[in-house]
Structure 1
Amino acid sequence: MKEFEQVIRIRPQDDAFDDVRMEYAKMLKQQLAKGNNGLVKSKYITFSIEADNIREAKPKLERIESDILNNFKILGVPAYPLNGVERLQILYETFNPDIMADFQFDYGSMIRTGLNTKDYVAPTSFVFKDRNTFRMGNTIGAVSYLQILAPELTDKMLAEFLDIDKNLIVNLHVQSVDQMKAIKLVKSKVTDINRMKIEEQKKAVRAGYDMDIIPSDLNTYGGEAKRLLEDLQSRNERMFLVTALFLNTAKTKQALDNAIFQTAGIAQKYNCVLKRLDYQQEEGLMSSVPLGVNHIPIKRALTTTSTAIFVPFTTQELFMTGESLYYGLNALSNNMIMVDRKKLKNPNGLILGTPGSGKSFAAKREITNAFFVTKDDIIIGDPEGEYYPLVHALGGQVVHISPTSKDYINPMDINMDYSDDDNPLGVKSDFVLSLCELIMGSRDGIEAEEKSVIDRCLPLVYQKYFADPKPENMPVLGDLYDCLRKQKEPQAQRIATALEIYVNGSLKVFNHRTNVELNNRIVCFDIKELGKQLKKIGMLIVQDQVWNRVTINRGIKSTRYYIDEFHLLLKEEQTAAYSVEIWKRFRKWGGIPSGITQNIKDLLASREIENIFENSDFILMLNQAAGDRQILAKQLNISPYQLSYVTNSGEGEGLLFYGTTIIPFKDKFDKNLKLYSLMTTKPEEVEKREKEMEAEKHEGN
């Protein structure tokens, strides 16, 4: 548990945010205590074949290995073959569970010392004098076998065994039976049962009662045997001989008895019996190491479907070290989900859900966590004015952009690293063209002549700044307007006329040099007060500012960009195209964009926008509307069972897509925390927060 606490630990920094920081750290500790993250489970598969010699066996084993690894890949389970040293390490850890020293071995030392591999893995002693326990070194152990009596089993049984907070090795020896032999065996059993039925019927006739009245057991077994024969003959089922062994180890006899009692309790819950191997403890121990040899003759015949119940891959866990962030608890195992988006091939993300499902809250939780754990810069595009309480609490800069605001953002801002090549104007030109297109309201895009005129004007507008790059030389929209007015072409006059209202008219909020602190670690652009006409332009300009920051941070640190109400950007051709460009290019510049939206249909309205989906390896999916669920199921290949986690789910519950891994999660955030009041967007809770802030202000005065 101490190792896991190390991963989630957030230390005080002796700054203004320590109260919020330590509150978040305390919440993480509480969440860790709810799950079983203190357990480490290792799963090994050993396969063997019969052959006359190793030369004959090797190519066959390699073919089987390739098949097994491919099947694991289809399951989405990472698996790799073990080398000789790794196999010896497993044996060493099995035989020496009380020794904390690392396994020291190399093949060269065997030649020098004359020792063999057994000398490296053996404990100090083995004692097998007791009937149902044994000793190895200072550890006491016992091996039991599982007697499967239940008519039906569930895969949850094995999962429960593996969740026991004790040292436990579960071994399943599965041996396939030749199909013809299996059918022959079942047919002989059917024949035996039929013969017994005839005997019973003869007895009935002799005793003078109805010959159809025969013992119910015979009827039951007869039906079962016929069904089994049918499965083997026509349903592609195979027969396997299964031995399930359980090795419990502990430091004292009492601790061992408690562990066995706990294990037996789970078996009993599923109508099975855990029985101790009397006078076979040595054979049981040697059958519990991954050598693929079973010394225990107790076997149970099971079909493919029944054997598959023991596949140990019922839940996936995501708990990563490094700069990993908290994303809730695994809905199946209650374990914490801690992941680092930067380790994905493509860290771009989407947060999807219906209104009230907890989208904004999830984004704010990630922002808070990233602020405490990483050195990343964070930029937020906030069309609804929901983020500023949290940003203020974290000492960030909130830029309120509105026609009446005194906070100004200059759409003409540029820096020398703005582009991949030596010409920063190339990429800036794309942005200015998109801006003009949006301003002119052109659905089909501006014409080639108009593009040429703008492209001609831009070097002239930036000439002074490039000659002497100081803030007062940065051009504004008015400089572009003046340059266009000086051009002779009628196209230039058309563009200038469209720009006029944004330069000299009532919408001139963007015709000023930037006057706010944009070097802060957290910058929130609040564009709630911009009218409908200006909001799309505002969002495009915010994206350009983000591009600016990403290029400045390139190679130094990552830049996280959160865009709420993302569907607003996707409705317009220009802003959608610019967003797609961000999704394609941000990764190599160290940018991590996250789109937050409820409108899936807008997200998939065009092939170009679909690129956003294809270039997002991280998706946080909360409760979905019925129509959107079907679209997403098809797009992301979600099974009906997984889909149930986003159907009528509560707030903060859903599915997390991390690369190829899909995990159901839940996040119940403590409502008594100060952090919760800063993150919530529920109207009644927002109102309560604002009243409390007002009261505090009043007291301060």
Structure 2
Amino acid sequence: MKFTRHADNTLPGPSSLKVNARSIEFPDGTCASFAIAGYPREVGAGWLEPLTGYPGHLDVSLHIEPVPPLIAAQRLRRQLARLDSARTADFATEAAADDAAELAASLARGHGRLFRVGLYLTVHATDPGQLEAEVQHVKTLAASLLLDAQPTTFRALQGWTATLPLATDTLKTRRTFDTSALAAAFPFASPDLRPRLGDTPVLLGLNAYSSGIVLWDRFAHDNHNSVTIARSGAGKSYLTKLEVLRLLFHQVQVCVVDPEDEYRRLANAVGGTLLGLGTPGVCFNPFDLPEDAEDDALDRRAMFLQTLVATMLGEPLTAATKAVLDKAVIATYAAAGITSDRRTWKRPAPLLADLATMLEATDASELAVRLAPYISGSYRSLFSGPTTTRPDGHLIVFSLRDLPEETRPVGMLLALDAIWRRVSNPADRRRRLVVVDEAWTLMREHEGARFLYRLAKSARKHWTGLAVVTQDAADLLGSDLGKAVVANAATQILLRQAPQAIDEIAEAFNLTEGERLFLLSAGQGEGLVCGGTGDRAAFYAVADTSEHALATTDPAELP
């Protein structure tokens, strides 16, 4: 039998094919198919991975059809009755009856469902001689898994189409699975990684040593924090952007501290909020009060403004200066009509210039003069007016690239404070992820290091994960604060490491010699994910075309 594609060349597939009894011949190869007719009694998670990891060209297709609960209950009753009547001295029948009774009890309690599952294989080769050898290898592999692989004799065409991505089961060779058995048959599980998966699993990539996928759910672990350490150019920011994109599909709100403006294209593509601190025309008023703030929000703002002024001045404030500044801040709010009454908090907030005017009026002109660069001097652009863009939305990116070095600590403090207010607000509790890219820039600043330490310790209580991404392991592992961040991260991702840092990394993360060598020779995007339970897997990041366009920072690929 021979089939030829239409002359207009509109249908995908081979130009022609010849159907034999057990094989199909194409212009550039041949294939044979198998239907799995028998299964082992007990299996473990990822037991189909040897098939998906077969070194040759093998298509594996799993067709799943749920069985309605009423029909499932009727079939189980008939099966139990038949098996009970045939128990006698047949031990296999007795074991099957026990399994059926256990399954019926599980379904009655609502712990699972029944599914009709068909598993089909199609092996490809370049010529009939090679196909025969490949067929024997696949049959041997299936037998080692206790699978009964039957050739689709005189149904070669149906066997081939059953393994195409058409969602059409043309063979109908099915077996009944319950929920747990079907979960164990998931064909893309990574056998060397058994993470806990909840409602927000994310694809990290493919297993570096098999075809299994590496799924990870940071929110299903003891804490939701992670650290990603890699040398420059190893793909750490690329992998982080992929996780951000995929978590957005799970309605996780993401806040990013972006020192290098690498997340701008991503934020624009998904409708996120971008605050380019230091960009002309962008203002951020530290006096803003959140609309759904707690009753002590005004007092907290006053205390934060003391920290902000101390950062601006580059030195701690004395007790006397704190007292004067606190009085001036409260008076500045009062002059704008804002008091401890929550109904007044919707009024326009005062500006930093109003605080300077109030300081001059309270005989604190020296402090006002020292704040002049941020009010009327060269650093005034960030504080010269009301906030231009509110930090709201599903993705909030604070870009710090355009901030001068002199004002970067101040801008960073504003960004971190805005994030902390959102995270710690009990009136808006939801899953969140705070990404701190190039975290070594924060570790150099006292307030930035304190923020990372505080968030690493308490993020879990606020249903939030902290993702620390850095290329400088020494800054992270060389301080007590940095070690605390690592110790409180249930997820650790290590990409390619520099030879100068591998000894410190190996000691901190208890790497084996093989893992050391892997990280030294890993390619771009390849790495090691380590879980809090001791599970580890080598993987490489994968992305489709649209994801890659948003995640890459390669100058050769950017317009």
Task: Work out whether residues 198 and 219 of structure 2, in 8 Å CA contact, stay in contact via their aligned partners in 1.
Answer: no
Matches within 5 A, 1:385-400: 385-400=261-276
- CA–CA separation in structure 2 for the residues paired with 1:530 and 1:250: 66
Deviation at 1:319, TM superposition (A): 7.1
Instruction: Show structure 2 runs of 5+ residues with no match.
Output: 1-39, 46-74, 99-136, 154-189
Instruction: Show structure 1 runs of 5+ residues with no match.
Output: 1-38, 44-99, 126-159, 169-247, 256-312, 691-701
In structure 2, relative to structure 1, the CA distance for the partners of 1:251 and 1:529 (3 Å cut) is: closer
Higher RCO (CA 8 Å, separation ≥ 6 residues): 2
CA RMSD of aligned residues (A): 3.8
Instruction: Tell me whether 1:350 sits opposite 2:223 in the alignment.
Output: no
Task: Work out whether residues 554 and 589 of structure 1, in 8 Å CA contact, stay in contact via their aligned partners in 2.
Answer: no
Deviation at 1:469, TM superposition (A): 4.0
Deviation at 1:498, TM superposition (A): 2.6
- CA–CA separation in structure 1 for the residues paired with 2:332 and 2:88: 80
SS of equivalent to 1:582:
helix
- Mean CA deviation greater in 386-395 or 476-485: 476-485
Deviation at 1:678, TM superposition (A): 1.8
Instruction: Pick the structure with more helix per residue.
Output: 1
Deviation at 1:355, TM superposition (A): 0.8
In structure 2, relative to structure 1, the CA distance for the partners of 1:587 and 1:104 (3 Å cut) is: farther
Deviation at 1:450, TM superposition (A): 2.8
- CA–CA separation in structure 2 for the residues paired with 1:668 and 1:369: 13
The equivalent of 1:433 in structure 2 is: 306
- CA–CA separation in structure 1 for the residues paired with 2:533 and 2:296: 38
In structure 2, relative to structure 1, the CA distance for the partners of 1:103 and 1:546 (3 Å cut) is: farther
Deviations 1:78-111 (A, max 9, x none): xxxxxxxxxxxxxxxxxxxxxx969999xxxx9x
- CA–CA separation in structure 1 for the residues paired with 2:413 and 2:424: 17
SS of equivalent to 2:422:
helix
Task: Work out whether residues 319 and 337 of structure 1, in 8 Å CA contact, stay in contact via their aligned partners in 2.
Answer: no
Task: Work out whether residues 431 and 463 of structure 2, in 8 Å CA contact, stay in contact via their aligned partners in 1.
Answer: yes
Deviations 1:459-498 (A, max 9, x none): 434443343344443233223333333334xxx5444333
Task: Work out whether residues 622 and 649 of structure 1, in 8 Å CA contact, stay in contact via their aligned partners in 2.
Answer: yes
SS of equivalent to 1:683:
coil
Instruction: Tell me whether 1:453 sits opposite 2:426 in the alignment.
Output: no
Task: Work out whether residues 457 and 480 of structure 1, in 8 Å CA contact, stay in contact via their aligned partners in 2.
Answer: yes
Number of equivalenced pairs: 406
Deviations 1:189-248 (A, max 9, x none): xxxxxxxxxxxxxxxxxxxxxxxxxxxxxxxxxxxxxxxxxxxxxxxxxxxxxxxxxxx3
Deviation at 1:680, TM superposition (A): 0.5
Alignment counterpart, residue 503 of structure 1, candidates 371, 375, 379: 375
Structure 1 letter corresponding to 2:525? G
In structure 2, relative to structure 1, the CA distance for the partners of 1:116 and 1:430 (3 Å cut) is: farther
> What is the TM-score normalised by the length of structure 1?
0.52
In structure 2, relative to structure 1, the CA distance for the partners of 1:651 and 1:680 (3 Å cut) is: same
- CA–CA separation in structure 1 for the residues paired with 2:496 and 2:313: 38
Deviation at 1:426, TM superposition (A): 5.4
Percent identical among aligned pairs is 24
Deviation at 1:441, TM superposition (A): 1.5
- CA–CA separation in structure 2 for the residues paired with 1:165 and 1:475: 73
Instruction: Pick the structure with more strand per residue.
Output: 2
Task: Work out whether residues 206 and 542 of structure 2, in 8 Å CA contact, stay in contact via their aligned partners in 1.
Answer: no
Alignment counterpart, residue 323 of structure 1, candidates 188, 195, 200: 200
- CA–CA separation in structure 2 for the residues paired with 1:102 and 1:558: 44
SS of equivalent to 1:327:
strand
In structure 2, relative to structure 1, the CA distance for the partners of 1:314 and 1:676 (3 Å cut) is: closer
Task: Work out whether residues 418 and 427 of structure 1, in 8 Å CA contact, stay in contact via their aligned partners in 2.
Answer: no
Deviation at 1:427, TM superposition (A): 4.5
- CA–CA separation in structure 1 for the residues paired with 2:357 and 2:518: 57
Deviations 1:422-478 (A, max 9, x none): 423555455333322221122xx3333333333444443444334334444323322
Task: Work out whether residues 461 and 483 of structure 1, in 8 Å CA contact, stay in contact via their aligned partners in 2.
Answer: yes
SS of equivalent to 2:282:
coil
Structure 2 letter corresponding to 1:250? D
Structure 2 letter corresponding to 1:449? A
Matches within 5 A, 1:245-324: 248=146, 250=148, 315-318=192-195, 320=197, 322-324=199-201
Structure 1 letter corresponding to 2:392? N
The equivalent of 2:174 in structure 1 is: none
- CA–CA separation in structure 1 for the residues paired with 2:349 and 2:358: 15
- CA–CA separation in structure 1 for the residues paired with 2:512 and 2:232: 24
Instruction: Tell me whether 1:569 sits opposite 2:442 in the alignment.
Output: yes
Task: Work out whether residues 353 and 623 of structure 1, in 8 Å CA contact, stay in contact via their aligned partners in 2.
Answer: yes
- CA–CA separation in structure 1 for the residues paired with 2:43 and 2:206: 18
The equivalent of 1:122 in structure 2 is: 95
Deviations 1:137-169 (A, max 9, x none): xxxxxxxxxxxxxxxxxxxxxxx99x955683x
In structure 2, relative to structure 1, the CA distance for the partners of 1:583 and 1:554 (3 Å cut) is: farther
Deviation at 1:622, TM superposition (A): 0.9
